Amino acid sequence: MVAVESLSELRQHVQNARQAGLTIGCVPTMGALHAGHISLVEAAKKETDFVVVTIFVNPTQFGPNEDFSKYPRPLELDLQMCREAGVDVVFHPEVPTVYPAGATTSVEVGGLSSVLEGAFRPGHFRGVATVVLKLFNMVQPDVAFFGQKDFQQQLVIKHMVRDLDVPVRVQTCPTKREADGLAMSSRNVYLSPEERQTSVLLSQALKLAETMVHQGGATPGGIEAAMKKHLETDPRVSIDYAKLVDAHTLADLNRIQSEMVALIAARVGTTRLIDNMLISGHLS
């Protein structure tokens, strides 16, 4: 495995792989890698011949009061995990490599970017779409791998790829969970032991939504209210949203339909967590 910081080195390695007839897979990350990221690397290794992991804590997707400066950056550990997982190249650029002085261009995916996460984190998806398009242009992968954990993110990226004819296939991989159901996230390290216990309420609330859909009779509004009630059983939780929406458009629902997603964003103490579950209901 090689770890490179410059675009020219990255391009040289990718070009060599291409000339050898290999297909390129890319796993974009912000580092602080965990088993969820490694499952993306495994999917990339299965489906492509040459795997590039990018590690870049992207400043443009953090709001002014968010955790950009304290976001964990354990680079040596990350490189070790990538080496053990059989990654070919880790690209870990500095900020000026990705955003040269004077850069003023950004990518805005209309509609999808302004609801749910977008409503609570204005500008977040502009930062995500911009950096992901840049990383795609830098790596030029055949396939890029993202986790379902960031459900709205993977939807926004798929729309960007479609709308701008980006020649990359975007593959979404299942969320990796701890034994008690908590979705793996680089931000879980912020949780105190008590908060860590509380945080299981998110996946429990999603399961509750799934059970209510499958039992039948409940409305989307009733299911959202039940998720909120479950989350509020612990005063450490403060809810941004707990929604059951269309899995493709993220639009609100009047009735249960076939392809839905339940999405939760909540603060546990000061740590903001998100999680989601795809739920298929019967047409009604």
Catalytic residue list: 37
Q: Tell me if 279 sits within 8 A of 261, measured CB to CB.
A: yes
Q: Are 54 and 139 in contact (CB under 8 A)?
A: yes
- The piece of 75-83, 126-134, 166-174, 245-253 that touches ligand PAF (CB under 6 A) is 126-134
Among 51, 82, 131, 182, binds ligand PAF (CB under 6 A): 131
> Is the CB of 37 or the CB of 230 nearer to ligand PAF?
37
As measured in angstroms, the least distance from the Cβ of 56 to ligand PAF is 6
Using DSSP bridges, classify how beta strands 237-246 and 169-173 pair: parallel, antiparallel or unpaired.
Answer: unpaired
Choices 41-49, 124-132, 167-175, 241-249 (CB under 6 A): range interacting with ligand PAF? 124-132
Question: How far apart are CB 226 and ligand PAF at their closest, in Å?
Answer: 29
Q: Out of 132, 138, 206, 208, point to the residue binding ligand PAF (CB under 6 A).
A: 132
Residue 156 CA to chain centroid, in angstroms?
A: 10
Our finding on whether 58 is near ligand PAF (CB under 6 A) is yes
What is the rounded CA–CA span in Å between residue 13 and residue 154?
A: 27
- Cα 96 to the chain's mean position, in Å? 24
Using the minimum distance from each CB to ligand PAF, give the nearer residue, 52 or 128. Answer: 128
Per-residue CA distances from 190 to 72, 178, 202 (Å) = 9, 16, 16
Measured CA distances, 71 to 36, 136, 187, 279 (Å): 17, 23, 8, 32
DSSP string, 114-132: GSTHHHHSTTHHHHHHHHH
CB of 135 to ligand PAF, least distance (A): 7
3-state secondary structure of 164: coil
CB of 58 to ligand PAF, least distance (A): 4
Q: Which is nearer to ligand PAF, 52 or 227 (CB)?
A: 52
* Extended strands (E) in the chain: 2-4, 24-29, 50-55, 89-91, 143-147, 169-173, 237-246, 260-268, 271-279
Q: Which stretch binds ligand PAF (CB under 6 A): 27-35, 94-102, 166-174, 218-226?
A: 27-35
In the shown chain, the binding pattern of residues 61 to 80 toward ligand PAF, with x for contact by CB under 6 A and - for none, equals: x-------------------
DSSP letter assigned to residue 56? -
What residues from 194 to 253 belong to the interface with ligand PAF (CB under 6 A)?
Answer: none
Decide whether 115 or 226 has the Cβ nearer to ligand PAF: 115
| 28 contributes a contact to ligand PAF by CB under 6 A | yes
Choose one: 28-36, 45-53, 214-222, 258-266; the region binding ligand PAF (CB under 6 A). 28-36
Among 88, 117, 150, 224, binds ligand PAF (CB under 6 A): 150
d(CA 222, CA 239): 16
Non-local CB neighbours of 239 within 8 Å, separated by 6+ positions: 228, 231, 232, 264, 265, 266
Q: Which is nearer to ligand PAF, 71 or 240 (CB)?
A: 71
Note the residues at the interface with ligand PAF (CB under 6 A).
28-30, 58, 61, 128, 131-132, 150, 153
